[in-house]
A and B are shown apart, each in its own frame.
Chain A
Amino acid sequence: MRGAPLRVYAILYLIFLYAPIALLPLFAFNDATIIAFPLAGFTTHWFTDLAANAALRGAVGNSLFIAAMTAIFSTLLGMCAARAGAMARFPGKSGILGFVMLPLVLPEIIVAVSLLIVLRQVLGLNLNNWTVISAHVLICTPFSIAILNGAFQNLDPSIEEAAMDLGESRFSAFRLVTLPLVMPGIVSSMLIAFTISLDEFIIAFFLTGANPTMPVYIWGLLRFPAQLPVVMALGTLLVALSVTLLVIAELFRRRGLARAGIKDQGGFL
């Protein structure tokens, strides 16, 4: 078959992409403190250690709160931008949209230090969960816009106009007609923003307060060899959670495209 060598290469490439993740469960269930081969035996006690760790539970709670808030706010901002993007042009529109998308290509450490300077040195605020949320909303909004653009741009404006002709106000026409049509895109955007925020370390390390987020806590654990199997167990759970969220996000994204009646172009970006 034509393209057979390419197919082999692509599959090898996928194996390369998944190799590190595939090791996670191996070491999470391995009955040895040292993360190395050969494997020792089967155990689940790293998972029970994990459940007993109160500091970790606190960090997970922080991260879940930050991720949930980030998902809500970045999706709201993303909806504004994506709907504006699908509407009539006005002077400076593409420039403004480009500026809002900028965090996508900015090195994260630049975002981190610039916010740290403003929050700590200029405003003199204490760092807490909300400082992390404000930064995460900034970097997640471009992803939300990219996902929601697909939902808004393919919407037929005459449907909403018809609702308004039939007596609905502009807002209720949006709520009753447009919102249900773009709902899959909204769910997908929230899940992606949630996943990014939950995993983000580079910025959170700068802006986290007295209560660390989960990645910041994991970073601390990586320095203690005895804690590493627990990190592997945690990693296994996180990968399982991320994959589940992403599969749901992908299903919603596809349903949204089907609802808008367009061909799937594939991919989140």
Chain B
Amino acid sequence: MGLGNFKKSEGGRAAMLLAPPFLYALALLALPLLAVVLFSFWTQDFMTIDTGFTLANYREFFDKPIYTVLLGRSLMVSGIVTAVTVVLAYPVAYFVSFHVAPSRKSLWLFLITIPFWTSYLIRVFLWKVILGYNGVVNSGLIGAGIIGEPLSFILYNVNAVIITLAHAFAPFAILPIFVALEKIDRSLIEASRDLGETRFTTFLRVTLPLSMPGLVAAVLIVFIPTIGDYVTPELMGGAGGKLIANMIQTQFLQLNNAPMGAAIAIVAMLSVTAIALTFVALNRRWLRGRG
């Protein structure tokens, strides 16, 4: 079969249709990522870029404690945010999948996703209003006579960053878990009950293992993007709550040191990818299709 025939075949037409989005992603994603890798091996010489190949940026990353501390903190915050988000989201996904009438499921999902689409910056800022010194939580607790002094451990530190991110990424966690739960054949659950399992052991031995693909997807879809957020740590983190994304942003936009910023971005990306792959590998036995 010649090229002319392939072009006329349905597969060939599909390939031609897929070309524009593919070329766009190639030009604006793959090539730029390649440029980041390249830049990370170069150095900034005041106003000009020295294109001599060097590992100096990576050496600086691992020599100066600031970078590794920020990366460690970032990974810890993302890990905690992921755990909190997924654990809090699972019961909601379970409720919508198993206890909501089919005709009302999309309404519930719609209500869950709406806050995710509305003004991210302002939502983050509003957490300052909620957690702040005169905020909703403090004035509420003081009004109720539970505390005498405003709590100070909930703003301008890592805790505040975690609360805000967990809120922002909630819908991301619910949707994949919901999709996995929807796919479970309900007769398996009935069978388990008929064979004498209680409702709780049925959940542990049938529903939970079958929903693992959704759970793994939820973990990845929350963990990976949280590393790249510099808005929440900037607004909520105070001096001790800055994360690695703030450092990348500072290198690029304030210090005008693109090569160093590129090296930090690469190390952060590689760490995230390594953790994500390890996590998937650990859960491999749940992800295999089993007919």
- Please give the residue numbers on chain A whose beta carbons come within 8 Å of chain B beta carbons, in ascending order: 2-3, 6-7, 9-10, 13-14, 16-21, 23-24, 27, 34-38, 76-78, 80-81, 83-85, 87-90, 93, 96-97, 99-100, 102-103, 105-111, 113-118, 121-122, 134-135, 137-138, 141, 145, 192, 195-196, 199, 201-202, 205-206, 215, 218-219, 222, 231-232, 234-235, 238-239, 242-243, 246, 250, 254, 264-269
Answer whether A84 and B14 are a contact pair too, CB < 8 Å, given A206-B253, A231-B122.
yes
B93-126 Cβ-contact flags toward A at 8 Å (1 or 0): 0111011000001101111111101111111011
Give Cα distance in the complex from A84 to B36, angstroms: 31
Is residue B41 contacting chain A, with contact meaning CB distance below 8 A? no
Give Cα distance in the complex from A268 to B106, angstroms: 9
Structural contact, A269 and B18, CB atoms closer than 8 A: no
Is residue B156 contacting chain A, with contact meaning CB distance below 8 A? no
Structural contact, B28 and A134, CB atoms closer than 8 A: yes
- For A267, the chain B residues whose CB sits under 8 A away are 106, 109-110, 113, 175, 178
Among candidates A2, A35, A201, residue contacting B120 with C-beta atoms closer than 8 Å: A201
Structural contact, B230 and A202, CB atoms closer than 8 A: yes
- For B111, the chain A residues whose CB sits under 8 A away are 14
Q: Which of A103, A206, A222, A254 neighbours the largest number of chain B CB atoms within 10 Å of its CB?
A: A222
- For A7, the chain B residues whose CB sits under 8 A away are 95, 99
- For B49, the chain A residues whose CB sits under 8 A away are 121
Answer whether A264 and B106 are a contact pair too, CB < 8 Å, given A23-B126, A100-B25, A206-B252.
yes
Structural contact, A218 and B123, CB atoms closer than 8 A: no
Is residue B255 contacting chain A, with contact meaning CB distance below 8 A? no
Give Cα distance in the complex from A117 to B235, angstroms: 26
Structural contact, B118 and A243, CB atoms closer than 8 A: yes
Among candidates A27, A105, A116, residue contacting B221 with C-beta atoms closer than 8 Å: A105
Structural contact, A246 and B35, CB atoms closer than 8 A: no
Since A14-B112, A84-B17, A122-B35 are in contact, a sample of 8 more A-B pairs with Cβ atoms closer than 8 Å, ordered by chain A residue number, is: A21-B118, A102-B25, A106-B228, A111-B29, A114-B35, A121-B35, A222-B121, A238-B119
Among candidates B13, B15, B36, B171, residue contacting A113 with C-beta atoms closer than 8 Å: B36
Q: Which of A2, A17, A215 neighbours the largest number of chain B CB atoms within 10 Å of its CB?
A: A17
Interface of B is mostly: helix
Q: Which parts of B124-152 form the interface with A (CB within 8 Å)?
A: 125-127, 129-130, 132-136, 139
Give Cα distance in the complex from A201 to B39, angstroms: 24
- For A242, the chain B residues whose CB sits under 8 A away are 114, 117-119
Is residue B88 contacting chain A, with contact meaning CB distance below 8 A? yes
- For A103, the chain B residues whose CB sits under 8 A away are 25, 29
Give chain B nearest CB distance to A182 CB in angstroms: 14
Answer whether A87 and B17 are a contact pair too, CB < 8 Å, given A13-B92, A254-B106.
yes
Give Cα distance in the complex from A99 to B22, angstroms: 8
A-B pairs with lowest CB-CB distance, top 8: A107-B228, A266-B106, A114-B32, A36-B134, A90-B11, A20-B126, A3-B99, A88-B10
B206-224 Cβ-contact flags toward A at 8 Å (1 or 0): 0000000000000011001
Give chain A nearest CB distance to B267 CB in angstroms: 12
Give chain B nearest CB distance to A264 CB in angstroms: 5
Give chain A nearest CB distance to B234 CB in angstroms: 9
Is residue B269 contacting chain A, with contact meaning CB distance below 8 A? yes
Give Cα distance in the complex from A87 to B132, angstroms: 54
Answer whether A110 and B33 are a contact pair too, CB < 8 Å, given A21-B126, A267-B109.
yes
Residue of A nearest to B109 (CB): A267
Structural contact, A90 and B228, CB atoms closer than 8 A: no
